[in-house]
Amino acid sequence: MSEAIKAGVWRDMGLTDEEYGRIRELLGRDPNYLEIGLFAVMWSEHCGYKNSRPVLKLFPTSGPRVLQGPGENAGVVDIGDGLALVFKIESHNHPSAIEPFQGAATGVGGIVRDIFTMGARPIALLDSLRFGLDDERARYLFGGVVSGIGFYGNCIGVPTVAGEVFFHPSFEGNPLVNAMCVGLIEQEKLALGAASGVGNPVMVVGARTGRDGIHGATFASEELNETSEERRPAVQVGDPFMEKLLIESCLEIIDKGYVVGMQDLGAAGLTSSTSEMASRAGTGIEIDVTKVPLRETAMTPYEIMLSESQERMLVVPKAGCEAVVQEVFERWGLNAVVIGRVTDDGLYRIKEGDRVVAELPARLLTDECPVYYRDEKEPDYYQELKKFDPRSVPEPGDYNEVLLKIMASPNLASKEWVYRQYDHQVGINTVIVPGDGDAAVLRLKEHSPKGIALKTDCNSRYVYLDPYRGGALAVAEATRNLSCTGAEPLAITDCLNFGNPEKPEIFWQFKQAVLGMSEACRALGAPVVSGNVSFYNETRGQAVYPTPTVGAVGLLEDVGRRCSQGFKQEGDLIYLLGPYAHHVGASEYLSLIHGRDAGPVPEIDLKLEKQIQETCRALIREGLLQSAHDLSEGGMAAALAESCISGRIGARIYMEDDELHNRRGDAILFGEGPSRIIISSRPAAASRVMEVCLEKGVPLVCLGMVDGKELKITANHRKYIELGVESIEQAWRGGIDSWLSRS
C-alpha cells in the first residue's frame, strides 16, 4: 500500500473510513490512487444519492403520459402527434457561491446537455434562484448569477422564458441556483444513455479536457466554509459558442441513426459518463486516456478521468460509423475521437497506453454505492413557530403604505432587472413572456395549434415552517400557475435543496417535504419524471431555508385559447375563484412588515385544489376568461395590483361577505392560501362562468370590476386601499433597483 493511501487520502477525497473499507472488501484488494478517486466521485451524494435514494422512492413516477421516468438523463412525456417533451432541473449552488458568473453559466450548459443527449432540441430554459437579502455579497452574487445565466442561454440561442427569485438572509452565504431545460423531440428519435453493443466504439466529442472542475462532484457534497473560496479552481469555465456547435452536431448524428448511446460529461466527467453508460447496458467498457484530446500538458489519468471541463459528450456510435461521426463533428469544428470500446466482461478498465491503471467491475461504481438511512428529528423551532398567533401583531394603520412596501419588496417587485438580460423571444415561439402570466407559454410553431406552459416554483418560507405542507404547496402552486394559462399539468421535475442530511433535523425536513410533494403529485396527477438532490447547502453550520423547487410542464391543446394575468378592459367583472384566506401566518406580509417568519402555514385541501385548477382550465377553454392570476405571496391585494399593472388599468373591489365579518383587514388583503385564483370575464359571460363553477362545485365570489386608473379595495364597509395604478407600478418596478443600490 502506498504512503499516500496509508495517510488516509480517501478522507481528503470525501470518503469515510467505513466507505473505504467497503471498497477494499468489494475489490478484494487495496484500490490504487486513481480507483479511490473514481469511487470518491461516484459515491458522493451528488452522483450516488446515498442519503436520498430511499426517500426518493416515495415519489410517484409513472402515468399515462410518462415515456421515461427517473434513471435517465432527463424525463420524457408524451404530448401527442408523435411528439414528446424532455425536461429536467438541476442545481449549481456551490460553484455559484464561489464564482457566480461561471457557476451559473455552466449550470445552464450542463442542463442543456442533459436534454440534447436524448435527441431533443432544447427549446426553453427556466431558473429558480435564492439569494441573501442584506449584505453586499448577496448583491454581488445576484448580479453575477443573472449575468451568467443570460450570457450562456443567449449565446446558445435557447430562450430563458420563466423562473422565480426569492431573497432571505438564510441564503446569504449559500445561494441556490437551479436551472431547468425543456426540449422537443419526435418520439421515435429518443436516444438513451446506455453503452450497449459489444465491440461498439466509445468516443469523446466536443471540447478538449483540462484541469478545471476536478472533484466538483465531491465539492458539491460538502458544506461551504471559510476555505471554500480556495476551491475556486474547481469551478468550470463554459464556452456557450462551442455548446451551440455541440447541440447541432449531436442532434445530427442522432437524426442520421449513427448513435447507440450518448451522455453528457457532467459531474465526475469521464468517470460518471463511462461507468453509468456501461452499468445501464450491463456491459463493460475500456478506454485509453492517452487518446483523450487535452488542452493542458502532463495531465495524469486521475486528472483526465475526474476533470469536469465543459462542452464534452460521450458517444457510443454503431460499429463502422466512426468515420462518418467524425466527419460530422469536424464539419462543425469539433473534436471526435475514439477512446475505447464496449466490452462483454462487465469490467470498467482504464488504460494509459498499454498499461492498465484501473480495473474493477463497472457496477461497483454505480450499483454498490452505500445507502444511508439517516436519523430524523423534528427541529426544536418547529412547534414553537407553528404556535405563533398571527393576530398578536398590530393591524396596520395605513393599508396603502403596507401595499406599496410589499409591492416594492425584492420578493414581489418586478423581476425585469433579471429577465431583460435574457433573450426570452429567440425562436419567436414565446407567446406569454415573463411578467405577463403565471407561467411561460410557447407555441409549437410547426405543430400548431398546440402549446406548452412552463413554470418553476417553491415558497422556501413555507417549507421551513412546515416541510410537509410546504412541499405539497410547492407542487400545487406550480401546477396552478400552469392552469392559470389554460394548460393541463403533465408532470414535474424537482430540485431538492436542503442542508446537511447527516443532521437529523435536516433529514426530517427533507423527508417531510418529499412526503408532502408526493401526496400533492398523486392528487393532482403530476408524476415526478426527473430531478436532482442538492444537500449540504450550509455556511458555517447554518442551513439555508429548505427549498424543494418544482419545475412543472403543461400542455395546451389550443395555444390560441391561452390566458394571461392582466386585466383587459373596463367593465369586465372580477371574481375570486376559491376561498378567502383565514390568517397571515407564514406570509410575506408578516415577514416583511412585522419581521416574523412564523405562524401556521396555510392548509391545503388537495381535492379542492384539483377542482379549482380543472375549473380554471375549463373556463379558459370555453373562452370565458379575460385574465387569470394565482394568489400567492402578498395575498389578494398583491394579486389584484399585479393584474392592474399588467393590464395598465384599475379595479374597484367590494368585499361584503358574511365570511369576512370577523376577519381583520390584513388577513383579508395579505393572507396567503392555496386554491385561489383571481379571474376576470366580460359581463356577457357572467352567467356561464357561474354555471361552470356551480357544476364543478367550487367557490366563486364576484369581487368587483375593472375600472379607471386606481385600485380601490373596500371590505366590510371599510375602504382599505385607494392607490393609483401608476404609483403602485412605480414602487413595484423600482424594488430591485432600490435593493441593488443600497450602500
Catalytically active residues are: 46, 92
Nearest to 455 by CA among 494, 512, 496: 494
The beta-strand segments (E) located in 74-131 are 75-80, 83-91, 121-131
Nearest to 158 by CA among 180, 140, 138: 180
- Alpha-carbon distance 41 to 433, whole Å? 40
Q: Per the structure block, which three cell numbers stand in for 672?
A: 396567503
Strands across the sheet containing 355-361 = 259-264, 312-317, 201-206, 335-343, 284-288, 347-352, 355-361
Through-space distance between the first and last CA atoms of the chain, rounded to whole angstroms: 57
> Do residues 163 and 456 lie in contact, with contact meaning Cβ atoms separated by under 8 Å?
yes
Q: Is the dihedral of CA 112, 556, 420, 167 positive or negative?
A: negative
Q: Quick one: how far is CA 510 from the chain centroid?
A: 16
- Residue 413's alpha-carbon distances to 124, 301, 404, 638, in angstroms, are 24, 50, 10, 10
- Residue 437's alpha-carbon distances to 107, 164, 407, in angstroms, are 26, 13, 17
> Do residues 473 and 674 lie in contact, with contact meaning Cβ atoms separated by under 8 Å?
yes
Q: How many CB atoms lie within 10 A of CB 421?
A: 17
Q: Quick one: how far is CA 246 from the chain centroid?
A: 23
In this structure, the dihedral spanned by the alpha carbons of residues 287, 293, 299 and 302, taken in order and rounded to 10 degrees, is -30
Q: Go through the chain and tell me how many residues it has.
A: 743
Half-sphere exposure of 608 (CA within 13 A, CB side): 15
